[in-house]
Amino acid sequence: MDAGYAQRTSAIILAGGDGSRLAPLTRKIAGYNVPKQFCSLFGEETLLAQTRRRVSLSISHERTVTVLSRHHRRFYSPLLSKTSAANLAIQPSNRGTW
Amino acid type, 5: Y
Specify the pTM.
0.85
Beta carbons within 8 Å of 68's beta carbon, 6+ residues apart: 15, 16, 76, 80, 88, 89, 90, 91
pLDDT by residue (tens digit) across 18-39? 888 999 999 999 999 999 999 9
pLDDT in tens, 61-88: 999 999 999 999 999 999 999 999 999 9
Cα 46–chain centre separation: 9
